[in-house]
Amino acid sequence: MKRIYMDYAATTPARPEVVQAMLPYFTEAFGNPSSIYSYGQEAKAAVDQARTRVANLIGAREEEIVFTSGGTEADNTALVGVALANESKGNHIITSAIEHHAVIETCEFLEKRGFTATHLKVDKYGLVDPDDVRKAITSKTVLISVMHANNEIGTIQPIAELARIAREAGVYFHTDAVQTTGHIPLDVNQLGVDLLSMSAHKFHGPKGVGALYIKKGTPLTPFLHGGGQEKRRRSGTENVPGIVGLGLAAELARLEMDGEVRRLTGLRDRLIAGLMERIDHVRLNGHATKRLPNNVNVSVEYVEGESMILNLDLEGICASTGSACSSGSLEPSHVLLACGLLHEQAHGSLRFSLGKWTEEGDINRVLDVLPGIVSKLRAMSPLLKSKK
Amino acid sequence: MKRIYMDYAATTPARPEVVQAMLPYFTEAFGNPSSIYSYGQEAKAAVDQARTRVANLIGAREEEIVFTSGGTEADNTALVGVALANESKGNHIITSAIEHHAVIETCEFLEKRGFTATHLKVDKYGLVDPDDVRKAITSKTVLISVMHANNEIGTIQPIAELARIAREAGVYFHTDAVQTTGHIPLDVNQLGVDLLSMSAHKFHGPKGVGALYIKKGTPLTPFLHGGGQEKRRRSGTENVPGIVGLGLAAELARLEMDGEVRRLTGLRDRLIAGLMERIDHVRLNGHATKRLPNNVNVSVEYVEGESMILNLDLEGICASTGSACSSGSLEPSHVLLACGLLHEQAHGSLRFSLGKWTEEGDINRVLDVLPGIVSKLRAMSPLLKSKK
Amino acid sequence: MTNAGAIYSEKVMDHFRNPRNVGDMENPDGVGHVGNPTCGDIMELYIRVKDNIITDAKFKTFGCGAAIATSSMVTELVMGKTIEEALEISNKAVVEALDGLPAVKMHCSVLAEEALKSAIDDYLSKSAKR
Amino acid sequence: MTNAGAIYSEKVMDHFRNPRNVGDMENPDGVGHVGNPTCGDIMELYIRVKDNIITDAKFKTFGCGAAIATSSMVTELVMGKTIEEALEISNKAVVEALDGLPAVKMHCSVLAEEALKSAIDDYLSKSAKR
Ligand SMILES: Cc1ncc(COP(=O)(O)O)c(C=O)c1O
Ligand SMILES: Cc1ncc(COP(=O)(O)O)c(C=O)c1O
């Protein structure tokens, strides 16, 4: 049975050419970039090339890119780093109710250590209201962190507008762009952000590597302390193969982006329409158009998500319910609840996230298979009976 | 010209079989271990196998191993994690004057945030005196961190004895075993430590992955906040290929360790003896026997280290002066200064660290080449003249 | 390659794919209703009792794979048992019969046990009233 | 493959491998001595001056590649220059003549400039005394 992978938002396979490019840096060109002899300088040159490629992808300057171990570390570094560096100015952080746990939990950590946080509510599409941001800013606010696009429902925030409000108030602005980098056009200067997180494995780079854009002049206390790599902004021996992989993934994403955005938007809209058509009582989560080109998220009423995922898996289809991180946990998605869904609707959510290897046939297969799964589960559901 | 790599303490090439084992996890088996469908569970099984292998290498239980992005993150996690988790008990940390920057700088970070630290002095061989540890403990002490073996001079500390003192005083004990894991026999229960850091790229695993051993029951505030991976002890999508590589590197190191220790000790002692014999005014740094099997560190009087490294590089030989991290910086090694060397002696240090692919012929080549380099540089040295 | 649903044992997956005794029951002698939408699992269990012996059981469940499998298993386990024997069926017995459950899913077996107890309670209180 | 010593330009490596004008000088007209063991670089510069023109220069240096190369380059640059011209030689001129230096090594060029100034000062104060 052909496996159909529709969970690209959880992680993506590294592209074969990305893995190829990484290979020499494991073995022959394995030097430590801090070493001055030839092996070391080869590795350093590779890291520098990757930095240029990542900078190009997001319109930044090389020296504004700091490599990290992934999106989580980038988010932690941004929040903790800016908070601690600006402690004398204030202790208030603004974020949204639908951030990834890497931001939410880091906020909570800071809240336990003398900071206060405002968690902006969102509307039913998952959108933050710029007015709410304006109102939340106090004289103590040092940082606003709102994600570029949400990993569960795909809603794209009006970051440029939010960042402008922050800038006018003299507050630093961070955006978690883990779901958008390499997926949709993105320019840090147009967005006007001070910090931006990305993660390689979300756009066909390897797992365990990411980057944080830090606009020149943004004060930041280092998060990882040690040998002073990355111009003292992130210590630890550089993950050279990983960084090389991130660099090439960034380069390829930049070159292919326009075509992919068009192609995936078409497939996405076909899948959404098909699901609505073929299954009763399905609602689309997130916004119809301010949406990642590859995200489909629906709530299928009266059935629970995991049981759908398992049945889909039995048919060779990989999808998810809520975010990958919270599957295995019992709480319904905080994102869907923040959008106003009832608990049972949140528990009945399905996310299909499309990607590079998704084809029209895969969409058709999902549309063929899912209605049967839903019927079977609904026949078992005590919720449906009580609604009849 | 054959390149002779003698900087295995800075980093090692990943073994080809390690890279082979990693490959499937970049592409076909690329799932996110948090996903419940097949792709995800394949990845999870691979991570679990690696965890068993790492646990076996150090005599730990699987659930006591937490994967990190490297030695630096392991050290940061141990220090910050234990310090913050035990804040109510006390705010005093004890460490040594010759720790890696990943420990020193993390201590400094904590010192800026309400903690106090005692930096134990060492003797001329780089050894910590257990009595000093005993005396340094106060009612406020929550953590002692002393490295297993030093990365520059190779001195192996009496960790079992130090950890016993800590345990008797009810203080947690961490050891940075980045230079010993996979190199010399090591059992966490025999050592009696509560936390232990390791890094894959120091023993033929890939860069960008490491692990922290956390003895069951040790309270620890997570360092990276987010999706709650690694049983909530370290968030961030698992670097599956990296973890698989670490696992196999651990397994191979365990199997080959005894032979390698013997072989390298022989080569090491030949190199030390040869250097002493062929070059005047050379002193061995570190301890003659309480020493890593692969470490040779000497000070060559009247000449500066980088100029020797560059000349060696021109001959195809990779070595280092001080640690890789501090090359490019102007400060002489804090380790050598702590051992009582004069600044000019510290600046004139050379480290040869041997490894898997070091052969007797390589030792001979260094012994053939270095005397000429030293003569040439001494002829240029204003220090030698003034001593004559 | 790991099988689909590899977080679960084969037994669990069997009961998940082919749940036994799904459905409603006309005039059941006892009904158990446990769980709620917040926790994500809702189970309804119906039993028919004759001469103190459970002669039939049916369930309806909204929930994850483990919730469905434990519901299915508990209906199999009670069939033919006396009320007293049925009350002895613990969540552990359900888990064992399913060849184990992942730690994070243990609560589902507890829910299944509770559903059974609640159905029996319902039967006992109804028969007391009669 | 990147060349050996790739942190440095070819010019720097050339002067490092084949430093010009290394050595002592008998009865120099001016001696500059800068740096110290703490910072890791020590330079000694000797000049011979005839009719206000530097006719010879020699150096001895304990230091890194950049320290050796800048010392070597500065001796080349001063040769044949008048004292006034030599005083104009800045660390920037040394760096440019070497096709650049890594940022962390800029201080070496400053040291070379200082060594030259100090040798000239020594010459000037000696000749003033004469
Ligand atoms: C929006 C968002 N932020 C952060 C992360 C964390 O990134 P990583 O898994 O690389 O640590 C993810 C994915 O897991 C994400 O989707
Ligand atoms: C003793 C010691 N501790 C910590 C580290 C840091 O490890 P990593 O480079 O994996 O971050 C190193 C090496 O750089 C080391 O030698």
pLDDT tens track for B54-99: 999 999 999 999 999 999 999 999 999 999 999 999 999 999 999 9
Sign for the CA dihedral angle at D71, D76, D80, D81 comes to negative
Among the bound ligands, the one closest to the CA of A8: 1
Taking CA atoms, what residue in B is nearest to D107?
Answer: B330
Residue D105: which pLDDT band, with cuts at 50, 70 and 90? confident
Q: What per-residue confidence (pLDDT) applies to B330?
A: 63
Q: For residue B175, what are its two tokens?
A: 């050891």
pLDDT digit string, tens, across residues D25-77: 999 999 999 998 777 889 999 999 999 999 999 999 999 999 999 999 999 99
Positions of chain B with pLDDT under 50: 323-328, 387-388
Residue D82: which pLDDT band, with cuts at 50, 70 and 90? very high
Name which of A144-148, B143-147, C41-45 the model is least confident about: C41-45
With a CB cutoff of 8 Å and minimum separation 6, the contacts of A20 are none
- Alpha helix stretches (DSSP H) within A151-239: 159-168, 188-191
Q: What per-residue confidence (pLDDT) applies to A88?
A: 95
Long-range contact pairs involving A257-262 (C-beta distance under 8 Å, separation at least 24): A257/A182, A257/A183, A257/A184, A257/A185, A258/A185, A260/A183, A260/A293, A260/A356, A261/A183, A261/A184, A261/A185, A261/A293, A262/A293
Taking CA atoms, what residue in B is nearest to D3?
Answer: B314
Q: Which chains touch B (3 or more CB pairs under 8 A)?
A: A, C, D
Tell me if B151 CB under 6 Å of ligand 2. yes
- Give the pairing of strands B282-284 and A317-318: unpaired
B67 CB within 8 Å of a chain A CB: no
Q: What per-residue confidence (pLDDT) applies to B322?
A: 65
Mean pLDDT of the region A57-82:
98
Identify the helix (H) or strand (E) that includes residue A365: helix A360-380
Residue C10: which pLDDT band, with cuts at 50, 70 and 90? very high
Residue nearest to atom 16 of ligand 1 (CA): A151
pLDDT digit string, tens, across residues A304-358: 999 999 999 999 999 998 633 334 456 789 999 999 999 889 999 999 999 999 9
pLDDT digit string, tens, across residues B128-159: 999 999 999 999 999 999 999 999 999 999 99
Instruction: Report helix, strand or coil for C121.
Output: helix
Give the position of tokens 């890789």: B324
Q: What per-residue confidence (pLDDT) applies to A173?
A: 98
- Give the pairing of strands B141-145 and B172-176: parallel
User: Ligand 1 centre and the CA of B236: distance in Å?
Assistant: 7
Long-range contact pairs involving B310-313 (C-beta distance under 8 Å, separation at least 24): B310/A36, B310/A37, B310/D4, B310/D5, B310/D8, B310/D13, B310/D16, B310/D64, B310/D65, B311/B373, B311/B376, B311/B377, B312/A37, B312/B366, B312/B369, B312/B370, B312/B373, B313/A36, B313/A37, B313/A38, B313/D4, B313/D5
Of all residues in chain D, the percent with pLDDT exceeding 70 is 95
Residue C108: active-site member: yes
Rounded to a whole number of angstroms, the distance from the CA of C8 to the nearest CA of chain B is 9
Residue D64: active-site member: no
Angle of helix A240-278 relative to helix A360-380, nearest 10 degrees? 60
Q: What per-residue confidence (pLDDT) applies to B43?
A: 95
User: Ligand 1 centre and the CA of D72: distance in Å?
Assistant: 53
Model confidence pTM above 0.80: yes
Q: What per-residue confidence (pLDDT) applies to B388?
A: 44
β partners of residue C34: C43
Q: For residue C45, what are its two tokens?
A: 């269990």
A238 vs B contacts (CB less than 8 Å) = 207-208
Residue nearest to atom 4 of ligand 1 (CA): A71
Mean pLDDT of the region A37-65:
95
A106 CB within 8 Å of a chain B CB: yes
Q: Does residue A386 carry a pLDDT above 70?
A: no
pLDDT digit string, tens, across residues A253-275: 999 999 999 999 999 999 999 99
Of the candidates C5, C7, C39, C104, the residue annotated as catalytic is C39
Q: What per-residue confidence (pLDDT) applies to B387?
A: 46
Active site positions of A, annotated:
325
pLDDT digit string, tens, across residues C56-70: 999 999 999 999 999
